Amino acid sequence: MASELIYRGPESLPVPDSYTPKPHKPWFTVIRPLRYLLREQRIVFLFAGIAIASLIFAFLPSSRSGGSSYANTGIYDSYLPSESTQSQVAHRIIYQNRVGFGSFNSGGKIPLGLQRKSLRIVVTGGAGFVGSHLVDRLIARGDSVIVVDNFFTGRKENVMHHFGNPRFELIRHDVVEPLLLEVDQIYHLACPASPVHYKHNPVKTIISFLLFITNFHKTNVVGTLNMLGLAKRVGARFLLTSTSEVYGDPLEHPQKETYWGNVNPIGVRSCYDEGKRTAETLTMDYHRGAEVEVRIARIFNTYGPRMCIDDGRVVSNFVAQALRKEPLTVYGDGKQTRSFQFVSDLVEGLMRLMEGEHVGPFNLGNPGEFTMLELAKVVQETIDPNAQIVHKPNTEDDPHKRKPDISKAKELLGWEPKVALRNGLPMMVQDFRQRIFGDQKEDSGKITTA
């Protein structure tokens, strides 16, 4: 009988099928968050939070209304001689209507997520004529502003209305010395814009003028260098306020930004002309070599409230002389021309340049051209029709013509001046009248008391 060999080892295990993933459920990504919200009444708490936030925004004052008492009260109200014409009323609110993004609805309620980020900005020379008006605009926009000024030409009275505002700081400091700050933007305006005319002692005039030149070059060169170094360290955007004087006595009319100028490098005005040209050179070198974000503005003649009364500039000279019943001094034949822009137009241009994407340089001025005799007649019409005009010998290297070509600013910045000379001059006259005769009343009061 044949025997069979029977294998009694472990039976072979079944081979499992190959792995197949679960089918994709496209609706699962939508259902899962809904399940999460529906559990434990989470959706109820969500709507309750939205309702509470809505009540807070509805009944609490907006964050900008607290600062409106410092800058949004219409800073030119006191400069208007009367309210008889609509044009004066329109210029009365010139700053309130030009606040820009971030303040377009300063009286309403802006959701927190839509508010413009507040910047920390330093303004060198911020207590001066142009700087103080720029500070007003920046504070009104909601930014934190640090004013750096040595009060060589600036006045505390120009910024006193911001004292007590937590977003305003004032530092008495000369920019020829280094300064350490943490800021987002730097407006560099620190520089004496016009030498005072010395009249009595010629020797003292020469000595004082030499000292002034030395300090001026320090401010233009060393001060600009310090501010550019600060911008490089903290990554801030830097704006240099240059001048139309870089064109010298121009052979091109009107002057475009591409014109290199006609400057006497050894003349009595060269300290100002060449100092600003050097500042522009330093600014562009920092831009190309250190990748600092820079902006350059070339400012033409500017006038308005808070100008220094006796600083030697033609508009302030004429206005002060007319108010004091003195003859209006015209140097030369009076046929040399200038262009005059109101300070609010300049501030608007500076802010647009800083917030824009173009380096420049940009001409910021009013292309309306006046001879000195025409300007004197406008001052006569505004203040005293009986004011006399006297002629004196012209100053050395005085430019014959000055008129900006602002087509570049119009195209790239969307900027052009709005205030005509005959509309802006009364505001300046009112400010000068208050300061000249107000000071005299105070002095006479002191004498009477004594």
For residue range 224-282, what is the model confidence (pLDDT) as tens digits?
Answer: 888 999 999 999 999 999 989 889 888 898 999 999 988 888 877 777 788 888 889 99
Lookup: tokens for 124: 């060198």
Q: Is 420 exposed, middle or buried (0-12, 13-18, 19+ CB in 10 A)?
A: middle
Tallying the residues shown for the chain, one arrives at: 450
What is the overall mean pLDDT for the chain? 78
In the residue annotation, 272 being an active-site residue is answered as yes
pLDDT range class, residue 125, cuts 50, 70, 90: very high
d(CA 287, CA 275): 19
- Return the exposure string of 345-357: e unless at least 16 CB atoms fall within 10 Å of the residue's CB, then b: bbbbbbbbbbebe
Radius of gyration of the chain (CA): 32
pLDDT range class, residue 100, cuts 50, 70, 90: very low
Lookup: tokens for 190: 């620190």
For residue range 17-45, what is the model confidence (pLDDT) as tens digits?
Answer: 555 666 666 666 667 777 776 776 677 77
pLDDT of 166: 95
For residue range 374-433, what is the model confidence (pLDDT) as tens digits?
Answer: 999 999 999 999 999 999 988 877 788 899 999 999 999 999 999 999 999 999 999 999
For residue range 153-179, what is the model confidence (pLDDT) as tens digits?
Answer: 889 999 999 999 999 999 999 888 888
For residue range 184-204, what is the model confidence (pLDDT) as tens digits?
Answer: 999 999 877 664 433 333 332
According to DSSP, the β-strands at 237-243 and 341-342 are unpaired
Lookup: tokens for 81: 């001689």
- DSSP class of residue 220 equals I
Residues paired with residue 169 on neighbouring β-strands, in sequence order: 146
- DSSP class of residue 327 equals P
Q: Report which of residues 74 and 205 the model is more confident about.
A: 74
For residue range 324-380, what is the model confidence (pLDDT) as tens digits?
Answer: 999 999 998 889 999 999 999 999 999 999 999 999 899 999 999 999 999 999 999
pLDDT of 264: 83
pLDDT of 117: 81
pLDDT of 65: 38
Residue 16: pLDDT above 80? Answer: no
pLDDT of 101: 39
Amino acid letter, 329? T
245, 258 Cβ separation under 8 angstroms: no
Lookup: tokens for 161: 């209305």
Instruction: Choose the catalytic residue: 76, 79, 187, 272.
Output: 272
φ and ψ at residue 245, rounded to 5 degrees: -65, -15
According to DSSP, the β-strands at 337-339 and 341-342 are unpaired
Lookup: tokens for 159: 């910024």
Give every CB contact of residue 419 below 8 A, 6+ residues apart in sequence.
91, 94, 341, 342, 344, 345
Give every CB contact of residue 5 below 8 A, 6+ residues apart in sequence.
none
pLDDT of 70: 36
Give every CB contact of residue 60 below 8 A, 6+ residues apart in sequence.
none
Least Cα distance to 362 among 382, 348, 342 occurs for: 348
Helices 270-290 and 202-217, axial angle in degrees (round to 10): 0
